[in-house]
C-alpha cells in the first residue's frame, strides 16, 4: 500500500470510531480521544523484522494528515516510530469532504439521504398487494435501521435489492436464477454473488415462511417463479397424468416418478385413482411410505407455486377426493400445513400429527424439547382451532416430534 492508501485507511478507521462514539455517547462528562495505533494498520509494525517500506508509507501518511490538521501524532520516546494517531474531531466535516473529493467516499449523512430517497421512490411507485409485500417489508426494515445513529446505509446495495424485489413482485414467468439476474442486473452472476441470501431472507420475512431444518434458503424463490434449477413433482401411488400426446400411469412403479415443473404447464388432466391424496413434508417419510389407499406427493417444506398448481389441478379433476397432509409435529410442520391450505384453497386434513402420536410409547424416545424460537412462533398458531389442542399439549409437556419415526412404524 502507498502512503495515499494509508491516508485513507487511517481516516476510515478514525471516522468509523467517531461514528460509533457518536452513536454511544459516554456518560460522566468524560470525552476520550479517538485513536488509531499503527499496529491496526500493519500488524507487524513493532517487530524487529517489520517491512521498512510499509512503516515508511504509514509515517508519510500520518505526517501528511498532521500537516492538514486532521490528526495529531504521538511518537515513542527517542524514536521516529509512531505510538498513536489521534483524530482532530473538530475537523470531522472537513475529513468527510476530503474523503468524498479524493476517494469518492460519501459521508454518512449523505448516504442516509440517498437511502431515504430510494425508499421514497419505490414506495411512491409501489403497486404491490399490501404492506406485507416484498417492497413494503424491505422498506420498513431499512427505515427502522435508519433510526439507529450507528447504522451506515449502503445506497447501492439498497437500490439493487429494491430493483430485484420489484422484479420478483411483478414476475409471472418461470425463470432460472441466472436468467433473473440477467434481466435485473445485466449480469448472470451478480444476484448470486452480491445479495442472493439477503433477498431470500426478505422474501421469507414477507411470506412469514421461516426456514425449516434441512431446507435450502433459496427454496423461497420458487414462490416468485424463480428457480435455482428445474423443479420436480415427486408422486407415487395410483396416478394417471394426461397430456395431448402422451399418458403416464404410476400404479406399477413402487418408487413413483418425478415430473418436471415445466411439463406441468401443459398437462390436460390429472387422475388420482385413490380415495385420498396425501402430501408428505419430508423425503425420508415419502420414500418409506407405501401408497395403500393414498396417492402420495412429496412436498419438501412450504409448497412452491408449481406444487400448488398441481394440487389445484388435481382438486379440480377429482371431485370427492380427500386431501390430507403428513408432516412433523412441530411449529414448522403446522406452518407448512397452514400455508398449504391457504395457498391452494383446499382444506387438508392432518394425518398422524396429533396428541396420540406424541403420547405413543414407540415414539417417546424420539421426542425433542421445544426451543425458545418454537415457543415464540407457537403463539400466533395457538389462536387457530386446527392446531390449538396439540400445541397446548406440546407447550405443557415441552415436546415436539419429527415425522420420520412415525412413517418408520407405520410402514
For residue range 47-85, what is the model confidence (pLDDT) as tens digits? 988 899 999 999 999 999 999 999 999 999 888 999 999
In the sheet that holds 239-242, the strands lie side by side as 247-249, 239-242, 269-272
> Do 171 and 225 meet the contact criterion of CB atoms below 8 Å apart?
yes
Q: What is the pLDDT of residue 132?
A: 62
User: What's the pTM?
Assistant: 0.57
The domain spans of the chain are: 3-103, 108-226, 230-409
pLDDT greater than 90 at residue 129: no
Q: Residue 104: its pLDDT value, please?
A: 78
Give one DSSP letter per residue of 224-271, joined into a string. GTEESS--EEEEESSEEEE-SS-EEE-TT-TT-EEEEHHHHTT--EEE
pLDDT of the residue at 126 = 63
Residue 311 has pLDDT above 80, yes or no: yes
Q: Which three cell numbers stand for residue 183?
A: 434481466
Q: Which long-range contacts (CB under 8 A, 24 or more apart) does 355-364 make?
A: 355/389, 355/390, 355/393, 357/329, 357/401, 357/406, 358/329, 358/390, 358/393, 358/394, 358/397, 358/399, 358/401, 362/405, 362/409, 363/401, 363/405, 363/406, 363/409
Within a 10 A sphere around the Cβ of 388, how many other Cβ atoms? 12
Most confident option among 12-16, 148-152, 309-313: 309-313
Q: Residue 201, exposed/middle/buried by CB under 10 A (0-12, 13-18, 19+)? A: middle
Amino acid 31: pLDDT: 64
Give me Rg for the CA atoms of the chain. 30
Least confident of 24-28, 99-103, 140-144, 257-261: 24-28
Residue from 200, 266, 256, 204 nearest 233 by CA: 256
Residue 23 has pLDDT above 80, yes or no: no
Per-residue pLDDT at 193: 87
More confident of the two residues 174 and 23: 174
When mean pLDDT is compared across 50-59, 126-135, 179-188, 237-246, the lowest value belongs to 126-135
Provide the pLDDT for residue 131.
Answer: 58
To the nearest whole number, what is the mean pLDDT of the chain? 89
Can you tell me the distance from the alpha carbon of 408 to that of 264, in angstroms, rounded to the nearest whole number?
31
Check whether 399 has a pLDDT greater than 80.
yes
Q: What is the DSSP string of 20-34?
A: HHHHS--STT--PPP
CA 145 to centroid of chain Cα atoms? 17
Helices and strands (H, E) in the chain, number of each type: 18, 14
Mean pLDDT throughout 335-349?
95
User: What does the pLDDT average to over 316-321?
Assistant: 95
> Positive or negative, the Cα torsion across 195, 200, 203, 204?
negative
Instruction: With a cut of 50, say whether residue 28 has pLDDT above it.
Output: no
Residues ≥6 apart with Cβ < 8 Å to 382: 388, 391, 392, 395
Least confident of 198-202, 293-297, 311-315, 375-379: 375-379
Find the helix or strand (DSSP H, E) in which 85 lies.
strand 82-87
Condensed to tens digits (0 to 9), the pLDDT of residues 194-214 reads: 999 999 999 999 988 888 766
Domain 230-409 sits in CATH at 3.40.1360.10
How, if at all, do strands 35-36 and 82-87 pair? Answer: antiparallel
Contact indicator for 224, 165 with CB cutoff of 8 Å: no
Query: Residue 349 gets which letter from DSSP?
Result: E
Phi/psi of residue 316, nearest 5 degrees: -65, -40
pLDDT reading at 27 higher than 80 = no
Please give the pLDDT value at position 114.
86
Least confident of 161-165, 281-285, 289-293, 321-325: 289-293
Interior angle at CA 213, CA 211 and CA 217, nearest 5: 40
Q: Give helix 372-381 / helix 331-344 axis angle, nearest 10°.
A: 40
On whether the CB atoms of residues 299 and 212 are closer than 8 A, the answer is: no
- The cell for 355 is 396428541
Residue 23 or 159, more confident? 159
Residue 68 Cα distances to 36, 40, 91, 203, 334, angstroms: 17, 22, 10, 48, 64
Amino acid at each position: 500500500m502507498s502512503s495515499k492508501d494509508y491516508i485513507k485507511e487511517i481516516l476510515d478507521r478514525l471516522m468509523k470510531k467517531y461514528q460509533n462514539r457518536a452513536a454511544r455517547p459516554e456518560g460522566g462528562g468524560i470525552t476520550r480521544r479517538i485513536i488509531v495505533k499503527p499496529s491496526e494498520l500493519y500488524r507487524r509494525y513493532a517487530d524487529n523484522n517489520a517491512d521498512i517500506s510499509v512503516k515508511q508509507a504509514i509515517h508519510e501518511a500520518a505526517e501528511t494528515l498532521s500537516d492538514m490538521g486532521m490528526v495529531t501524532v504521538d511518537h515513542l520516546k527517542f524514536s521516529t516510530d509512531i505510538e498513536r494517531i489521534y483524530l482532530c474531531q473538530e475537523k470531522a466535516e472537513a475529513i468527510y469532504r476530503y474523503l468524498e473529493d479524493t476517494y469518492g467516499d460519501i459521508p454518512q449523512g449523505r448516504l442516509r439521504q440517498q437511502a431515504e430517497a430510494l425508499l421514497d421512490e419505490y414506495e411512491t411507485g409501489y403497486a404491490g398487494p399490501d404492506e406485507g409485500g416484498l417492497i413494503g417489508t424491505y422498506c420498513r426494515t431499512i427505515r427502522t435501521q435508519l433510526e439507529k445513529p450507528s447504522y451506515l446505509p449502503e445506497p447501492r446495495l439498497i437500490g439493487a435489492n429494491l430493483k430485484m424485489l420489484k422484479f420478483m413482485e411483478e414476475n409471472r414467468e418461470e425463470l432460472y436464477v441466472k436468467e433473473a439476474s440477467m434481466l435485473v442486473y445485466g449480469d448472470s452472476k451478480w444476484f448470486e454473488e452480491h445479495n442472493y441470501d439477503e433477498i431470500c431472507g426478505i422474501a421469507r420475512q414477507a411470506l412469514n415462511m421461516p426456514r425449516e431444518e434441512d431446507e435450502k434458503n433459496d427454496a423461497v424463490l420458487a414462490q416468485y417463479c424463480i428457480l435455482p434449477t428445474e423443479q420436480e413433482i415427486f408422486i407415487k401411488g395410483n396416478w394417471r397424468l394426461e397430456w395431448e400426446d402422451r399418458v403416464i400411469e404410476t400404479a406399477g412403479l413402487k418408487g413413483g416418478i418425478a415430473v418436471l415443473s415445466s411439463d406441468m404447464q401443459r398437462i390436460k388432466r390429472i387422475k388420482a385413482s385413490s380415495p385420498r391424496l396425501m402430501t408428505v413434508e419430508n423425503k425420508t417419510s415419502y420414500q418409506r411410505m407405501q401408497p395403500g389407499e393414498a396417492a402420495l406427493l412429496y412436498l419438501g417444506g412450504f409448497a412452491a407455486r408449481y406444487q400448488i398448481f398441481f394440487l389445484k389441478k388435481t382438486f379440480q379433476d377429482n371431485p370427492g377426493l380427500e386431501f390430507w397432509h403428513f408432516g412433523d409435529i412441530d411449529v414448522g410442520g403446522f406452518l407448512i400445513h397452514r400455508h398449504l391450505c391457504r395457498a391452494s384453497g383446499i382444506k387438508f386434513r392432518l394425518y398422524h400429527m396429533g396428541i396420540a402420536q406424541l403420547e405413543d410409547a414407540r415414539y417417546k424416545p424420539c421426542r425433542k424439547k421445544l426451543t425458545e424460537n418454537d415457543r415464540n412462533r407457537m403463539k400466533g398458531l395457538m389462536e387457530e382451532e386446527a392446531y390449538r389442542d396439540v400445541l397446548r399439549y406440546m407447550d405443557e409437556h415441552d415436546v415436539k416430534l419429527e415425522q420420520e419415526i412415525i412413517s418408520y412404524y407405520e410402514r
